[in-house]
Structure 1
Amino acid sequence: MSIGKEMLFFFGALGAFNGFILSLYFLFFTKKKYLSNLFLGALLFILSTRIVVTVLVYFNNNLSKIYLQIGLSACMLIGPLLYYVLKSGIRNNILIQWKWHLATWVLVILIIGFVFPYQNYPVLWNDYFVTAIFLQWFSYFFISGFENRELLQKVTQNYTDSSPSERWFGMIFLGNASIFMAYFLGFARVPFVSCITGALAFTFILYLIILVLLHRKKTDDLFLLNIQKDKKLNNEEAEILFQKLENIMNEKALYKNPNLSLKDLSKEVNISSHQLSQFLNNNLGKNFTSFVNEFRIQNACEIITSNDKLTLESVGYDVGFNSKSTFFAAFKKHTGTTPLNYQIQALQA
């Protein structure tokens, strides 16, 4: 191996190794678990996998074809993950269907890999699957750029006037654009360009990301473009969501589940936990526990009024409280009186 190739191998392998390390940081070690940095961690992991395969295959053509299959398959997840990095970070309104979206692509990769392994169908992969993979990658890249065109235009034309988070997401998009172009030109066999160029582009972009993180003492403001603590839905949107919540809580009696969580309820109304929490706090002026307890207390009042044979403690358990003391405290907070006094008043009425 010549000195030039040794240098290429060194920088390509180093970029991949550091990419894996940085992906673990975003996935597990950031202080706040924003979806955007989790998606970024997954994106870096997939890109690093692609780079490892590129470096290995470039310097050893005799490797098993399974490596080529893994590398090409990884490309099918780059586009979707880039899309969700930008959508969750810039727009902060991602729906929970992202899990099914990504799971579908993983399933497609597994099915194609088992039914048409590269080892047995090299022509099919080289002539058709590669084209489809790059078309899928480009489609997600194009949609991501189109949806966030205003931010990209601001970053490229007025870099100094853009915020740190805007520059951060702009760099992520443009970095992925560079990697895509390098790989696309390499597969298209453009003169003086090979797939190893994609590995070097990744290494370069990766170190830009590391420099940004090392330069800033605080990084949480990078992962969400608009962090608005007092953000409210407009009256029409708030009324629609409130009616949806109220109907689901009453029809399914979700409040009777003592282990009901914010995440469980957010899935029922098809929004993120963050959006639901924001709505409850900013539009309704209450936290999740207080919101659920209102339904429990309302149901408890109905039971106490209609049935004097049940003990008050059993009523509390029936409507979803997991202890007598919690039920009594919540009842007094929401009605201004104790369950016993409410029962006496109901019997006297």
Structure 2
Amino acid sequence: METNQLLFFLSALGAFNGFILSFYFAVNARNKIFSNYFLSLLLLVLSIRIIKSVFFYFNPSLSNIFIQIGLSACFLIGPFLFLSLKSYAQNGKTKWIQHVIPYLGSITILGFFYPYTQHQKIWSIWIVKSIYLQWLVYIILSFRYVRPIFYKLKNKESLKKIDIWFLSIYFGVVLIWLAYASAAYTSYIVGALSFTFILYLIIMLLIFRNNDESVFFKEKEKYKNKEMDAEIRDLIGQKIVIIEEKELYLNPDFSLEEAAKELKITKHLLSQYINEILGKSFSNLIKEYRIEKAKKLLETEKNLTYESLGYDSGFTSKSTFFTAFKKITGLTPAEYQKAYSKGV
């Protein structure tokens, strides 16, 4: 009896706090962090799904209408995860109608013509399976927006606060999906408990993010008290231009390790030089090289599409190219090309 009460408390608490956190993000959303709107909605639909699971587990005679609402909310978990990550990656608003309206329409039509109260078998066999399949598809589609974070991990670069933040959200949703997808082999309540765990992890990250005294998100002072020798600094300064001269940055998978090998210096020294002397990260340095290449192509090539221009500059996707170009130059590729043409 006490075990059941503890399970109920932990599971319901996660759902309750999910509603609170959803409201927090909705209130604090701004145009510059448009992804917060989608994050708020993601937490909302997850909380609805979880609270349905909690009450159904402890009260199987739960109203069928409530069950239908909880299952319907699942239709929007995947889309809101995708939109949240995409809007952040593209640094602003994103097209959301095609990812939301069709599913809202589907929920309405299914609820009207096939209500759960009268068609439990159809919901259990077909609709629920479709929901989890659609959720999985959006998890896969969303991976492209957290993939750059894995490149940073691969290159042993420091992660930003926001990188850890969105990585936690992504894997949190994946874990909850796995919990529900495997519920037939474990327990139905595992999904709710997973949500509680993930939610408190996210809350902890939020607290750390806003706490300047926290060491959790502080960038490590890797090279403190380890000043670089002037002779070594000058040597690296002479060698680093090789990356630009040989256009090594055009390799989409070009890493700090490969750069150090090409320049015949240790990875540690190269990283220290870029961080201390140039005042930037390795990934930002490579992005700047790629943008300079893209600018030259925009000035000389008239028949290239912007997508192929991004690939020719070393970027792995159109979205990452556009985001980096806008961030570094303050203009879109089209705006830059137009401004250059007028100047000529």
Q: For 2:105, give the aligned amino acid.
A: L
From 179, 183, 201, the equivalent of 1:182 is 179
The TM-score, its normalising length taken from structure 2, stands at 0.60
- Is the alpha carbon distance of 1:183 and 1:96 closer, same or farther for their aligned partners in structure 2, counting shifts above 3 Å? same
Q: For 1:167, give the aligned amino acid.
A: I
Q: What residue in structure 2 maps to residue 86 of structure 1?
A: 85
From 190, 194, 212, the equivalent of 2:187 is 194
Give the C-alpha shift of residue 149 in structure 1.
2.6
Whether the 8 Å contact between 2:32 and 2:92 is mirrored in structure 1 is: no
Q: For 2:101, give the aligned amino acid.
A: A
Q: For 2:69, give the aligned amino acid.
A: I
- Is the alpha carbon distance of 1:35 and 1:55 closer, same or farther for their aligned partners in structure 2, counting shifts above 3 Å? same
In 1, Cα distance between equivalents of 2:38 and 2:173 = 14
Whether the 8 Å contact between 2:15 and 2:196 is mirrored in structure 1 is: yes
Give the C-alpha shift of residue 213 in structure 1.
1.3
Q: CA RMSD in A?
A: 3.6
Q: Secondary structure at the match of 2:27?
A: helix
Whether the 8 Å contact between 2:33 and 2:92 is mirrored in structure 1 is: no
Q: What residue in structure 1 maps to residue 204 of structure 2?
A: 211
Whether the 8 Å contact between 2:179 and 2:191 is mirrored in structure 1 is: yes
Q: What residue in structure 2 maps to residue 167 of structure 1?
A: 164
Q: What residue in structure 2 maps to residue 342 of structure 1?
A: none
Give the C-alpha shift of residue 168 in structure 1.
1.1
- Is the alpha carbon distance of 1:21 and 1:158 closer, same or farther for their aligned partners in structure 2, counting shifts above 3 Å? farther
Whether the 8 Å contact between 1:12 and 1:199 is mirrored in structure 2 is: yes
In 2, Cα distance between equivalents of 1:159 and 1:117 = 52
Whether the 8 Å contact between 1:183 and 1:197 is mirrored in structure 2 is: yes
In 2, Cα distance between equivalents of 1:75 and 1:110 = 13
In 2, Cα distance between equivalents of 1:146 and 1:30 = 24
From 101, 125, 128, the equivalent of 2:126 is 128
Query: Is there any run of 5+ residues in structure 2 with no aligned partner, and where?
Result: 218-282, 303-322, 336-344
Whether the 8 Å contact between 1:159 and 1:167 is mirrored in structure 2 is: no
Aligned length: 239
98-107 or 29-38, larger mean C-alpha shift: 29-38
From 110, 131, 135, the equivalent of 1:112 is 110
Q: What residue in structure 2 maps to residue 5 of structure 1?
A: 4
Q: For 1:12, give the aligned amino acid.
A: S
Q: What residue in structure 2 maps to residue 15 of structure 1?
A: 14
Whether the 8 Å contact between 1:36 and 1:85 is mirrored in structure 2 is: yes
Q: For 2:28, give the aligned amino acid.
A: F
Q: After the TM superposition, which parts of structure 1 deviate over 6 Å for at least 4 consecutive aligned residues? A: 230-233, 235-238, 277-281
Write the deviation string for residues 145-192 of structure 1: whole angstroms up to 9, x where unpaired: 24533424545x578722211111111111111100001101xx11xx
Q: For 1:7, give the aligned amino acid.
A: L
Whether the 8 Å contact between 1:145 and 1:152 is mirrored in structure 2 is: no
Give the C-alpha shift of residue 36 in structure 1.
1.0
Whether the 8 Å contact between 2:161 and 2:209 is mirrored in structure 1 is: no
Whether the 8 Å contact between 2:31 and 2:93 is mirrored in structure 1 is: no
Q: What residue in structure 2 maps to residue 315 of structure 1?
A: none
In 1, Cα distance between equivalents of 2:332 and 2:108 = 44
Q: For 2:64, give the aligned amino acid.
A: K
Matches within 5 A, 1:304-343: none
Q: Percent identity?
A: 39
The TM-score, its normalising length taken from structure 1, stands at 0.60
In 1, Cα distance between equivalents of 2:11 and 2:104 = 26
In 2, Cα distance between equivalents of 1:36 and 1:96 = 9
- Is the alpha carbon distance of 1:8 and 1:88 closer, same or farther for their aligned partners in structure 2, counting shifts above 3 Å? same
Q: Secondary structure at the match of 2:127?
A: helix
Query: Is there any run of 5+ residues in structure 1 with no aligned partner, and where?
Result: 241-273, 287-349
